[in-house]
Chain A
Amino acid sequence: MRWTSRLRIAVSMLFGRGRAGRQLDEELRFHVERAVEEKVAAGMSAEEARYAVLREFGNPALLREQARATWNWQWLELLWHDVGYAARTLRRTPGFAAIAIVIIALGIGANVALFTVVRSVLLKPLPFEDSSRLMRLYENSSFGNFPFNQNAGGIYAEWKKQNHSFSRMAVSGYAGYNLSGEGEQLPENVRAGEFSWDLLPTLGVQPALGRNFTQDDDKPGANPTVILSWGLWKRRFAGGAGIVGRSILLDDKAYTVIGVMPSWFGYPEPEMQLWTPLYLNEPAKTTQAIDDHEFKVVGRLKPGVTPSEGLADLTTITRQIHDANLADPFVSKGANIKPMLEAMVGDMRQPLEVLLGATGCLLLIACLNVANLLVARSAARRKELAVRTALGGSGWRLLRQHLMESLLLSALGGAVGVALAVAAIQWLITTRHDMARAQSIGVDWVVAGFALALVVLCAAFAGFISAFGVSGKKTLGALQESSRGSTAGQGRARLRSVLLTLEVGLTVVLLIGAGLLMKSYARLRGADLGCLTQNVMKMDLNLPVARYSKLPQVTGFLEPLLERVRNTPGVKAAGYVFPVVPGDGYGGDNGFAIVEHPPLPLGKGQFAIHRWIDPGYFNATGIPILRGHTLDDNQQPGHETEVVVSNAFARQYFPNEDPLGKHLVSLLMSKTPMQIVGVVGDTRTEMGEPMKPMMYFPLYAAEDMNGATLVVRSDRDVTQFAMPIQRIVAGMDRDLPVSDIFTMDQVLGQNTLDASFNAELLAGFAVLSLLLSAAGLFGVLSYMVAQRTSEIGIRMALGAQREQVLGKMLGDGLKPALMGLVLGLAGSVGTVRLLESMLYETDKLDPMVFAAVGAVLLVVAAGACMAPAWRASRLDPMSALRTE
């Protein structure tokens, strides 16, 4: 009963406020009239009585407020009122509002975008069942200092058989296939994964269509089966419903499609197009070897078993195998373990965290800047506020309006910022689809909550800082401040200087971080790859095993092709390499022995990176031959006797002797000794990697060669040969795909994508904050000049020179900049430590970068201060004295 009538009152108060307000006025007026009547009846004159009553009555506005304060919904009305007031004030100064909104939008947008990425990539659990129990398992190989080495198939098999800690364990590998075209489709080279049949159950993932491999599919000699990625199914097979059960040609062999994975699934890498059974494809030699580290292993910990217990279990097993095979130097002694999430995104964690830190700084700078603008405004509106205080506006109410203004700015800025963030994320996903878990990046409720929190934080930060000192205590002073010649708003100018100092300091930190990354990136790009990078192009030729299983078939294709490419007008040189060109990855290694050296102690081994090449490769890539000569042309396929080594190889393994004429025995290939006939210059496997020892074997000695990379050099734009060469290939074998056609410059670009991405993004943030700081400096100094116009007038009237005024104003403006610079440089010394591991051949305290940042900041600050200071020095003393 009671609550219904309350509800009725509440509803009527919500919708009948205007009427209630008029009635309140009427009621109060009635009261006043009766009081006047009473006084008149007592003998006062009408006018006298009226004044007496009004004096007694007190502040009618205040009384009205107090009566209204008892009403329902009063908070809502006040809120609405404040919003309306804030909106009106902002509309009156659209320039200020627009600038503040853009600043906040940039700050919030950058943060929301990066937070979304960090959350999706680093924080969200993997989309696998109970993913916290999933572990990547590694061999800990002491022979080459690879603590997180891939697994040898034989070691994995023993782990799986003997361990007590994992409920499931599975293995995966990489493969590449030539997917034949159907009808008019061109053949295509696809990146693929190989799964053991229990990999998907270990992850806890089901195909979206069809079924997983069975144990019977995952055996040598089984009927070939394949699971497609969602992307490939949509792209290549138009998402047709009848895909399951169909047969497709991979390397000219028929595989039955048994399933399609969900669209988000990409393992072990996002770009995998299809998956085949591992034990079907890999020769028993590879899956049983205990020293050939080819595979990735995942395991699911049993409930209650900790990662370290699981690790101890695997280490014991590995150690036993190692001790039983002491003669083989490449058997690992131990194991290693990482949570799956860390294994997948580990190397992205630090750059993302650094960038997130940078955007945090940017937001702080944005907030400081907006606070600064608000302080300037509240200074300009000081008299208005004083008048309102005098008229009965309560301090709390004024503060609330002030906060409402910054809240409104932040909310609008936040809305724009979120839109910016969505666009930025879209851009990021398209430019960095190589990033692990890129497909999982998306805006969700947590991100929305984060954006909202940022808005509130921004509003509170900017609002409270600028409200600091807006209290009505100095009402009288403010009202009198307009009196002549007083130097006003000193306190506020100091507050703004403090804000500016902080802003400049943060900017310096960002600039230094960006400068270091830029320098490191330049170093990385400028590092010598060891070969020519201009006008050199590479293309991958994939030779389908079904048609190119025999050596004559391979040579029968590759040799004439090379001949025709070399004869193409404009081509300077061409050659083959397998598996990769410089800068395109590690490409594998193998152990070897030097015939002329005494045998190594038991359990010791030496290995080097391997390449298989044709004699023209060095000429095509411009790798210099330092001593001896390249492989002889007369290296008959199947009867190779020569090998070329790199300079680093010669230095490491023949420190005091001549490597030429010595013989190597490869532990991977036929055990016939091969004579070292040449020493060539070092190359890098990747930018940022040191030059490592390398061995170059004759091309056709490669055992499982299923293709080769053709390298073409010209003296002009080499890309013009891409089409003609593809036509030559198609003319020789229509169903042979050519893939990854890149110039060496492009290979380098991909190689250094991470570094350039991080450096450019951070530089973007740093430049933005530099602009904000410059704007802040400019604003503060302009304000100070305006405030001190009459003071300057007096000084000039008393004989101050224009240069003196200019110098003084410049000094005033530059002081916070200088202090900020010192603060920022000092702070940077601490913060650059976070960057250290991202830097390549760049000292974290690089004096050049520090000096350059200091110089840039000083120049920008001086530029920002120059205009207002100049204006001050040009003041006409007479008109300056007259300004009020």
Chain B
Amino acid sequence: MGKPNDLVQGTLDLLILKTLAPEPMHGWAIAKRIQQVSGEVLQVQQGSLYPALHRLEQQGWIKAKWGESETGREAKFYSLTAAGRGQLEKETANWARLSAAINLVVSEA
């Protein structure tokens, strides 16, 4: 019954925040962008994406606004808040530290 675990939870938050940093985007586009940028490696499932988006919104790191999508249909666009930018910086730094550490361990020997 658990949530999809194709991505570590904290990591998905970081990816979403990073993706939203340049411009507001709706959920579909966020998933697509992550897929593209990661070279089709990272597949974000809807089952993780929307709960994550809603959680970030509840925490006040992103905010949503309804706008017209590229197809002309109403869609929910998410954008970073000031608090979200701060969180992005923090999580990026965290990630850098963590991945460097993992690299050190993995490249050992």
Binding site for B on A (CB under 8 A): 2, 5-6, 9, 13, 23-24, 26-28, 30-31, 33-35, 37, 57-58, 62-63, 66-72, 394
Asked whether, in the complex, the Cβ of B51 is within 8 Å of the Cβ of A66, the reply is yes
Bound-state Cα–Cα, A68 to B52, Å = 10
Asked whether, in the complex, the Cβ of B27 is within 8 Å of the Cβ of A27, the reply is yes
Contact partner, A31, options B28, B59, B60, B66, Cβ 8 Å = B28
Given the complex, which residues of B lie within 8 Å of A33, measured CB to CB? 73
Bound-state Cα–Cα, A33 to B74, Å = 12
Asked whether, in the complex, the Cβ of A63 is within 8 Å of the Cβ of B60, the reply is no
Given A5-B60, A31-B27, A31-B46, are A70 and B73 also a contact pair (CB < 8 Å)? Answer: no
Given the complex, which residues of B lie within 8 Å of A63, measured CB to CB? 46-47, 50-51
How many residues of chain B have a CB within 8 Å of chain A? 26
Asked whether, in the complex, the Cβ of A70 is within 8 Å of the Cβ of B60, the reply is no
Given the complex, which residues of B lie within 8 Å of A67, measured CB to CB? 50-51, 53-54
Contact partner, A394, options B1, B46, B47, B83, Cβ 8 Å = B1
What is the chain A residue whose CB lies nearest that of B49? A31
Asked whether, in the complex, the Cβ of A30 is within 8 Å of the Cβ of B75, the reply is yes
Given A2-B83, A27-B50, A394-B1, are A9 and B76 also a contact pair (CB < 8 Å)? Answer: no
Asked whether, in the complex, the Cβ of B83 is within 8 Å of the Cβ of A70, the reply is no
Bound-state Cα–Cα, A256 to B63, Å = 84
Per-residue CB contact flags for chain B residues 19-63 toward chain A (1 = under 8 Å, else 0) read: 000000011100000000000000000110011111101111000
Given the complex, which residues of B lie within 8 Å of A58, measured CB to CB? 46-47
What is the chain A residue whose CB lies nearest that of B64? A23
Asked whether, in the complex, the Cβ of B73 is within 8 Å of the Cβ of A30, the reply is yes
Asked whether, in the complex, the Cβ of A28 is within 8 Å of the Cβ of B50, the reply is yes
What is the chain A residue whose CB lies nearest that of B52? A70
Q: Is B69 an interface residue (CB 8 A)?
A: yes
What is the chain A residue whose CB lies nearest that of B57? A9
**Which residues in chain B, 1-18, are within 8 Å of chain A measured between CB atoms?**
1, 3
| Minimum Cβ distance to chain B for residue A1 (Å) | 9
What is the chain B residue whose CB lies nearest that of A4? B60
Bound-state Cα–Cα, A13 to B28, Å = 24
The 3 A-B residue pairs with the shortest CB-CB distance, nearest first, are A70-B55, A70-B54, A34-B28
Q: List 30 A-B contacts (CB under 8 A).
A: A5-B60, A6-B60, A9-B58, A9-B60, A23-B66, A24-B50, A24-B54, A26-B76, A27-B26, A27-B76, A30-B27, A30-B28, A33-B73, A35-B28, A57-B46, A63-B47, A63-B50, A63-B51, A66-B3, A66-B50, A66-B51, A67-B50, A67-B51, A67-B53, A67-B54, A70-B51, A70-B54, A70-B58, A71-B58, A72-B58
| Minimum Cβ distance to chain A for residue B16 (Å) | 13
Asked whether, in the complex, the Cβ of A23 is within 8 Å of the Cβ of B47, the reply is no
Most-contacted residue by chain B among A13, A63, A70 (CB, 10 A): A70
What is the chain B residue whose CB lies nearest that of A72? B58
| Minimum Cβ distance to chain B for residue A65 (Å) | 9
Most-contacted residue by chain B among A5, A13, A62, A66 (CB, 10 A): A66
Contact partner, A13, options B26, B51, B58, B73, Cβ 8 Å = B58
Given the complex, which residues of A lie within 8 Å of B60, measured CB to CB? 2, 5-6, 9
Asked whether, in the complex, the Cβ of A66 is within 8 Å of the Cβ of B47, the reply is yes
Asked whether, in the complex, the Cβ of B47 is within 8 Å of the Cβ of A5, the reply is no
Per-residue CB contact flags for chain B residues 78-94 toward chain A (1 = under 8 Å, else 0) read: 00010100000000000
| Minimum Cβ distance to chain B for residue A394 (Å) | 6
Given A6-B59, A34-B71: 8 more A-B contacts, CB < 8 Å: A5-B81, A13-B58, A27-B26, A27-B50, A28-B46, A31-B28, A34-B28, A58-B47
Bound-state Cα–Cα, A67 to B75, Å = 17
Bound-state Cα–Cα, A13 to B54, Å = 11
Bound-state Cα–Cα, A164 to B3, Å = 77
| Minimum Cβ distance to chain A for residue B43 (Å) | 10
| Minimum Cβ distance to chain B for residue A501 (Å) | 37
What is the chain B residue whose CB lies nearest that of A3? B60
Bound-state Cα–Cα, A69 to B57, Å = 13
Given the complex, which residues of B lie within 8 Å of A394, measured CB to CB? 1
Given the complex, which residues of B lie within 8 Å of A23, measured CB to CB? 66, 76
Bound-state Cα–Cα, A405 to B75, Å = 40
| Minimum Cβ distance to chain A for residue B56 (Å) | 9
Asked whether, in the complex, the Cβ of B46 is within 8 Å of the Cβ of A26, the reply is no
Asked whether, in the complex, the Cβ of B58 is within 8 Å of the Cβ of A30, the reply is no
| Minimum Cβ distance to chain A for residue B32 (Å) | 9
| Minimum Cβ distance to chain A for residue B89 (Å) | 15
Bound-state Cα–Cα, A272 to B46, Å = 81
Given the complex, which residues of B lie within 8 Å of A69, measured CB to CB? 51
What is the chain B residue whose CB lies nearest that of A10? B58
Bound-state Cα–Cα, A5 to B62, Å = 12
| Minimum Cβ distance to chain B for residue A426 (Å) | 52
